[in-house]
Each structure stands twice: as structure tokens, then as C-alpha cells.
Amino acid sequence: MADTLLDIRGLNVRFSTPTGDVHAVKGIDLTVAKGETLAIVGESGSGKSQTMMALMGLLASNGRVEGSAKFQGEEMIGLPLGKLNRIRGAKITMIFQEPMTSLDPLYRIGKQLAEPMMRHRGLSAKAARARAIELLELVKIPDPERRVDSYPYEMSGGQRQRVMIAMALANDPELLIADEPTTALDVTIQAQILELLAELKQRIGLAIVFISHDLAIVRRFSDRVAVMRTGEVVETGAVADIFANPQHPYTQMLLAAEPTGRKAPPADNAPVLLEGRDVDVRFSMGGGFMGGKKLDIHAVDHVDIRLREGQTIGIVGESGSGKSTLGRALLRLNHGTGAIRFGADDISEASRQEMRRHRRQMQLVFQDPFGSLSPRMTAGQIVTEGLLVHEPQLTKKDRDLRAIKAFMEVGLDPATRNRYPHEFSGGQRQRIAIARAIILKPQVVVLDEPTSALDRSVQKQIVELLRDLQAKHGLSYLFISHDLAVVRALSDYIVVMKSGKIVEEGSTDQIFDAPRETYTRELMAAAFGK
């Protein structure tokens, strides 16, 4: 092909680790044509990022590359650093997943934008600065004349990612590699960044390699898709073909991985199980004994919520909206005010001692399956820990039996109960966390983003597990998430939160089909591209 920009042939990447070599990329072939957008899709560990890192000479020091990657006919693999540096940042540029850390915190963004321009195009400092201001305007940073002298820490995540994009466009590159550029951002910001990229691509006509784990994003954005799994490209094709007619079972699975189904609401006369009225939580940060500025945060601002028996309320909102804080306040795990009732009991003033009695009925599952399991206890010990408090009469053998039962219930092999958390995968750990919650036979479980840290395909399994458990044990869920697709599949009632307040609430159908508030509509648009 005459217009082939990038041609990767038989690329292998290996990492040497103390426990042996890891073959991260296994002889893959990929091409990118001029001006086209290729999406590389895969779950974590599929080697999608490492392929591009290898191309750019950015592998970690224990990584080795073999094979060929020709950019405009020039072999990139094994290119001496001096020559590579004439391509990197000039003809090929990159933006990364972590906008918070990808910019040097110690320099003004103007200087960071100017640096590659001065190096690759020999611009003077003055000219580079002028161009930097232009670029900031291009990526829609307000007041670029002033912002050019900001430090990264003075900007939000979305703004930083815009600065990264400005930097990527500075030298009119042929190819832009975008490595999960929106994953770390809130959905509404995500949508804005994607919109910006699409617009710039139209205007400038550069080729983009878009690395993502999220098929939904890829669909709107790219011309061709390459699906990667465990270091191999399992399928490539035009985006329409892949979505309409996926050939490889893995692709089919990925496409089907979006959680489906709806939950029927409980009967109208189902009793109210957990109720919070006028719940209010404030934090103060900083300050303290010897001064310093205090920063008061009103995390939850006078919120009312009622959870019925058998109901699942989805609490939706972006980071900082107070949804997690609300969940914890209802479990009396932080210092909030307001009236909280559990069943017939008013627990708003209950002491730690009095709360212990209720604890087994109200459980919590966390987002991060790595952080929520004590690393020095076995899975079995973790799962049965609550029994020590709530059923102290059990013998060690009884507890072991209960652990086996709980393991089987969440779909884990009971033979692994003496293993430690680090020996399980993310999805398995989340199952352990769920087992720990349900072993106590609770009535309410607060699920704080239980699927957010997991790959899509695993997410779906966890969603199904949660649904089964609810049906089996008649559980009520308070499901906190920013992921609307998952929320829709699990909840029958939705609460939308923004800066500590409830902006809209209603049945799932109502919220998804006919959102009233602008903010809710923005969220929907960002998530489903409507």
C-alpha cells in the first residue's frame, strides 16, 4: 500500500522478570494508513499498550523487542536513540492514560509545550510560546494567554489531557498514539475529550492509533479495529464489520460483555429497610493545631433516601459527587448528621457498641479488590472474619465449612481458600469480597463501584453473580457507580448525584428513557453517545 504510514510485522515483546520471561506481545502484524484511525482494543494485559511502547522505544528496562515496525518506510526497531528522537515528538506523538502525572509537575505548561517545538523545529523561545498559546486555544483551554503560565497542578484532569493533546499536535505529526486517553476521566469530561480529538482529526487529517479497553468508545471514533488478547491480534477489520459481524469468539464475547437485562422493582408495599433523612456530611481538610488554611467540603448536602426490601437503588454521579460518602453515612461509617433508620431501629445516634448488632445486616463491598482484602490473611480467614464477631460460638471447623459454602456460592473453588489475596485475579478477589459480605446473611449490601476496577468481561460475571445472590437471599442493594450501563442492568431505582445533592431520582426506565435534568442528559449522552 502506497499510503501505509506504519507497518508492524512480527513484533515480539518480552519482559524478563525474576519468575521468568513474560511474552507480552507475540509476533503481531498491524498496519496504519495515512489519516486513518486504528483502534486497538483489548483487556488489561493484552499487550495493546506494550506494542506501541515498543515502537516508540519506551519499554521498561527489562523489556526486549524483536520484529519490524516501519514508519514511512524507516525501520523503528533498533533505531539509534539520536535518530529515534527526531521521529518521537515530531512525526509520532503520544498522549497517555494518566493526565494527572504525565506532565512534569515542576514546570509551567508553556515551557513544556514549547520544549518539543524548539527542539524539533528550531523555534525561538518567543515563537514557541506564541504557538503554545495558539495550541491551547485550539484545544479549547479558556484564557490561554494566562493559562500558558500555569503549573499542571493548577489544572483539572480534563484540562491537563487537553494540554497533552496540544503538545501532541504542536509539531504537526503524522501519527498520534492515544493510549487510553479518557479512561481516568469522568464520563462527561471523557466525552468532551473524545469530541475534541475527533474534531482535530478532521481538521488536521492525522492518523491515530487509539488504544482502549472500551468498545463503546471505539465504535464512535475509529475506522478500523484490531482486537488483542494475551499478546495476539485475534481479529482486525473495519469498525462496522467488527461490530456487525464479529468472527472471533473473543470479539463476540467482548461485544456481548456489556451487562444486559433489567431488574423488576419490588412490590410497592415492600417495607422500607434503610432510610436516611436529611443526611449531611462535611469534611474539613488541612488546617489543624497550628493553623494552615482549612478547606471545608460539603460532601453530602441534606439528602433523603429510602431503600425498600428487595430493591436496588443505583446511585450515579461523577467523582466527587458524594455518592460513596452517602453510602458510608447510611452505614454509619463516617461522621454524618441526619436521621438514619434501619428497619424499626433509629440508628442515627447508635454507639459503636450498639451498631455492632446491626453490622451483620448491613454490609459493604468496595471498588478496589486489591485494597479491600487484608494482604496478610488467607482468603478463608478474610471471608470468615465477620463470623468471629457475630457468631463467636462457631468452632474453627464450622467456620471452615461456612467458608467452603460461601466460596461455592460466589463461584470460587473452595480448595483455594488457604491462598492469599495476591494469588487471585481481580475478578476473583471481588468474589472474595462479596463472599465476605454475604457469609453474614445481611439484608442490605452497599456496593461501592464493585465492578469499576474490572475488565468488561469480568464485570459482566460479577453483575450476574450479584443478581443471582439478590434473588436467592432477597438482598437489598445500594449500588454506587459511575458506570451507567452496569447501573441500568442492576437497579430498579436511580438517584443521580452532583456535588453532594440529588439532582434527579426515579425508576430506572424513567431516568434512562426520559431524563428531565440537563446534567442527567449529559451523563447519558456521554455514556451512550446519544
Partner 1 sequence: MLRFVLRRLMSALPTIFIVVTLSFFLMRVAPGGPFNLERPLEPQVLESLKRAFLLDRPLIVQYGHYLWNLLHGDLGPSFIYRDFTVAQLIANSLPYSLTLGAWALMVAVFGGIAIGSYAALKQNSFVDYAVMSIASFGITVPNFVLAPVLSFVFAVVLHWLPAGGWGDGGPANLLLPVISLALPQLAVFARITRGSMIETLRADHIRTARAYGLPTRVVVIVHAMRAALVPAVSYLGPVAAAVLTGSVVVETVFGLPGVGRYFVLGALNRDYTLVMGTVVLISVFIVVFNLIVDILYAVLDPRVRYE
Partner 2 sequence: MSEMTQALNEPTVAVQGTSLWAMARHRFVRNKAAMASLVVLIVVAVFSFGGTWVYPHKYDQIFSSYVAVPPSLDPYPLEDTLHQVMQTAVERARLRLDSFNAEGTSYTARISSDKPVDPRATRYLDRPDEFDGAEIVSTLDDGKTVEVKGKINGQYFPFGTDRNGRDLLPRIMVGGQVSITVGLLATFVSLIIGVTYGAVSGYVGGRVDNVMMRFVEILYSLPFMFFVIMLVVFFGRHFVLIFAAIGAIEWLDMARIVRGQTLTLKRREFVEAAHAMGLSNWQIIRRHVIPNTIGPVVVFVTVLVPKVILLESFLSFLGLGVQEPMTSWGSLIAEGTTGMQYVPWLLIYPASFFVVTLFALNFIGDGLRDALDPKDR
String marking each residue 97-126 x if it binds partner 1 according to CB under 8 A: -x--xxxxxxx-------xx--xx------
93 binds, among partner 2, partner 1, none (CB under 5 to 8 A by kind): partner 1
Residue 425: C-alpha distances to residues 83, 280, 422 (Å) = 41, 37, 8
Q: State in angstroms the smallest separation of the CB of 342 from partner 2.
A: 13
> Please, which residue, 171 or 372, has the CB nearer to partner 2?
372
372 binds, among partner 2, partner 1, none (CB under 5 to 8 A by kind): partner 2
String marking each residue 46-85 x if it binds partner 1 according to CB under 8 A: ----------xxx-xx-------------------xx-xx
What contacts 269, CB < 8 A, 6 or more positions away? Answer: none
Residue 289: C-alpha distances to residues 225, 245, 292, 293, 294 (Å) = 57, 64, 9, 11, 11
What contacts 442, CB < 8 A, 6 or more positions away? Answer: 360, 361, 362, 363, 475
Assigned C-alpha cell, 406 = 460461601
Task: Characterize the bridge pairing of strands 294-308 and 224-229.
Answer: unpaired
> Please, which residue, 90 or 503, has the CB nearer to partner 1?
90
Q: State in angstroms the smallest separation of the CB of 524 from partner 2.
A: 30
3-state secondary structure of 373: coil
Total site size for partner 2, rule CB under 8 A: 49
Total site size for partner 1, rule CB under 8 A: 33
Q: State in angstroms the smallest separation of the CB of 79 from partner 2.
A: 27
Q: State in angstroms the smallest separation of the CB of 110 from partner 2.
A: 34
What contacts 76, CB < 8 A, 6 or more positions away? Answer: 55, 56, 57, 69, 70, 84, 87
Q: Are 256 and 246 in contact (CB under 8 A)?
A: no
> How far, in whole angstroms, is CA 266 from its chain's centroid?
30
The sheet with strand 63-71 has its strands ordered as 20-33, 4-17, 63-71, 74-75
> Please, which residue, 153 or 283, has the CB nearer to partner 1?
153
> Please, which residue, 85 or 416, has the CB nearer to partner 1?
85
Assigned C-alpha cell, 102 = 504525565
> Which 351-370 residues touch partner 2, going by CB under 8 A?
352, 355-356, 359-360, 362-364, 366-368
Q: How far apart are the first and last CA of the chain?
A: 36
528 binds, among partner 2, partner 1, none (CB under 5 to 8 A by kind): none
> Which 427-466 residues touch partner 2, going by CB under 8 A?
433, 436, 440
Binding to partner 2 by residue 289, rule CB under 8 A?
Answer: yes
String marking each residue 136-155 x if it binds partner 1 according to CB under 8 A: ---------------x-x--
Q: Are 23 and 77 in contact (CB under 8 A)?
A: no
Q: How far apart are CA 107 and CA 153, in angstroms?
A: 10
Q: Are 448 and 438 in contact (CB under 8 A)?
A: no
Q: State in angstroms the smallest separation of the CB of 292 from partner 1.
A: 10
Amino acid, res. 456: R
| 376, 392, 393, 530: which one binds partner 2 (CB under 8 A) | 376
Q: Could you list the residues that contact partner 2 (CB under 8 A)?
A: 288-290, 331, 333, 352, 355-356, 359-360, 362-364, 366-368, 371-380, 385-386, 388-390, 397, 400-401, 404-405, 408, 414-420, 422-423, 433, 436, 440
